[in-house]
């Protein structure tokens, strides 16, 4: 009863949306595709906290809310803390028998962007996972501080142009590599971690359902293509996401209990990384001759990461 059946898309489309339209996210924003799907893949009551960021500012603009669930906006840093506080109180009241409706299934979910997750809320998230709360944290990873004007975060990949690491005559954009948050969270002791992307809707729904039904802290990094900061046409959100998963820039996999790594999507035809990069304005400058070495490095890194994931899947360590 807790989890809706998702055999196929037709079945899934009978879900009753608990995320409402007329939120103010950009046209074509992947955030709402991801959030909608999380709310649609379960019938359980949800207690949700959103960190400051695009999702929060665009879904609760006074006097409107787009949430049909319990929802709280908290600081930039502490959506994990807020929701695990609620979870702790829920458990305590259940124990004391002071819950009005103790048998109703409740799940605790926190959302944060990559700014809130990789940077500002990092230690709070780490603490919440370490304390072992029963909650699911979902990072809407658009690789940039999109809400405040496109500043680089520690999720921004190498070579991307952002307002605080702009590409120009002397710079090719961000110099540092993207932080591997999925590995970090697995090492942090999360019971279940996964990387998902909205174009693979079924894969994503399965990861969400696993996370919600796993006891203990779960972490999901959801690729969220950003039409505004990645600079592509709003209609292409799913096309760009396809390029990301099929070039293995965003490989889809899960890690259970910190060691059991499963690759959950293997592209039939792996496409070159430069096809993914070329589709976005934030990487346009990489196609100048003087930046050819960055393109090469990109491909090498993506290949090496894919190799690493496959070996870990085999090794089960």
Partner 1 sequence: MSNGNVLGNEKRGMVELGAEKKVGWDEVTHGAVLYSFEDDATDVSFRKAEDRNYAQFSSYVATVASWRTIKPVYNRDICIDCQNCWVFCPDVSIISRDKQMLGIDYDHCKGCGVCVEVCPTNPKSLLMFAEAQNLEDALASWPEKKKKEEK
* Residues contributing to the site for partner 1 (CB under 8 A): 9-14, 16-25, 27-33, 36-37, 42-45, 59-60, 62-68, 101, 104, 198, 201, 233-239
- For the chain, report the end-to-end CA distance as a whole number of angstroms: 34
In degrees and rounded to multiples of 5, residue 218 shows phi and psi of -125, 145
Rounded CA gap, 191 and 197, in Å?
20
Query: 21 or 289, CB closer to partner 1?
Result: 21
Beta carbons of 37 and 66 less than 8 angstroms apart: no
CB of 107 to partner 1, least distance (A): 12
* Torsion-angle region of 82 (φ positive above 0: left; ψ -120 to 50: alpha; else: beta): alpha
Query: Angle formed by the axes of helices 237-246 and 30-40, to 10°?
Result: 80
Give 64: exposed, middle or buried? Use CB within 10 Å, 0-12, 13-18, 19+.
exposed
Q: Which two tokens stand for residue 160?
A: 């991307």
Helix (H) or strand (E) holding 136: strand 136-141
Query: 50 or 191, CB closer to partner 1?
Result: 50
CB of 132 to partner 1, least distance (A): 28
Q: Which two tokens stand for residue 107?
A: 């799940």
Query: 122 or 250, CB closer to partner 1?
Result: 250
115: helix, strand or coil:
helix
Q: Write the CB contacts of 3 (distance below 8 Å, at least 6 apart in sequence).
A: 41, 42, 43, 44, 209, 212, 213
Query: 18 or 152, CB closer to partner 1?
Result: 18
CB of 67 to partner 1, least distance (A): 7
Query: 45 or 177, CB closer to partner 1?
Result: 45
Query: 67 or 135, CB closer to partner 1?
Result: 67
The rounded Cα 57 to chain-centroid distance in angstroms is 17
CB of 215 to partner 1, least distance (A): 21
CB of 141 to partner 1, least distance (A): 16
Strands of the sheet containing 253-256, edge to edge, are 70-73, 45-50, 106-113, 136-141, 218-223, 192-196, 253-256, 260-263
Query: 44 or 119, CB closer to partner 1?
Result: 44
CB of 44 to partner 1, least distance (A): 8
Q: Write the CB contacts of 237 (distance below 8 Å, at least 6 apart in sequence).
A: 28, 29, 30, 33, 198, 225, 227
Rounded CA gap, 7 and 3, in Å?
12
CB of 193 to partner 1, least distance (A): 24
The overall longest dimension of the chain from CA atoms, in Å, is 68
Query: 204 or 218, CB closer to partner 1?
Result: 204
Query: 30 or 222, CB closer to partner 1?
Result: 30
CB of 78 to partner 1, least distance (A): 15
CB of 65 to partner 1, least distance (A): 4
């Amino acid at each position: 009863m807790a989890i809706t059946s998702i055999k196929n898309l037709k079945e899934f489309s009978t879900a009753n949306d608990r995320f409402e339209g007329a939120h103010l996210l950009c046209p074509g924003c992947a955030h709402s595709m991801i959030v909608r799907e999380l709310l649609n893949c379960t019938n359980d009551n949800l207690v949700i906290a959103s960190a400051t960021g695009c999702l929060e500012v665009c879904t609760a603009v006074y006097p409107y809310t787009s949430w049909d669930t319990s929802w709280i906006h908290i600081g930039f840093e502490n959506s994990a803390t807020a929701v695990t506080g609620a979870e702790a109180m829920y458990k305590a009241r259940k124990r004391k028998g002071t819950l009005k409706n103790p048998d109703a299934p409740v799940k605790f979910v926190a959302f944060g962007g990559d700014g809130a997750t990789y940077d500002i809320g990092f230690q709070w998230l780490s603490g919440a996972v370490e304390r072992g709360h029963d909650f699911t944290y979902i990072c809407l990873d658009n690789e940039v501080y999109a809400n405040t004007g496109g500043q680089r975060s520690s999720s921004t990949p190498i070579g991307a142009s952002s307002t605080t690491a702009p590409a120009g005559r002397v710079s090719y954009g961000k110099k540092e590599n993207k932080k591997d948050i999925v590995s970090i969270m697995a090492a942090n002791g999360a019971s279940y971690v996964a990387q998902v992307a909205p174009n693979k809707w079924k894969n994503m729904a399965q990861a969400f359902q696993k996370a919600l039904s796993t006891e203990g802290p779960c972490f999901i990094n959801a690729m969220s293509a950003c039409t505004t900061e990645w600079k592509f046409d709003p209609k292409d959100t799913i096309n760009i996401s396809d390029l990301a998963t099929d070039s293995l820039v965003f490989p889809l996999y899960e890690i259970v209990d910190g060691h059991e790594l499963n690759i959950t999507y293997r592209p039939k035809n792996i496409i070159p990384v430069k096809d993914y990069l070329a589709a976005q304005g934030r990487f346009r400058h990489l196609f100048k001759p003087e930046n050819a070495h960055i393109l090469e490095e990109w491909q090498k890194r993506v290949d090496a990461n894919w190799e690493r994931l496959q070996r870990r899947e085999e090794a089960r360590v």
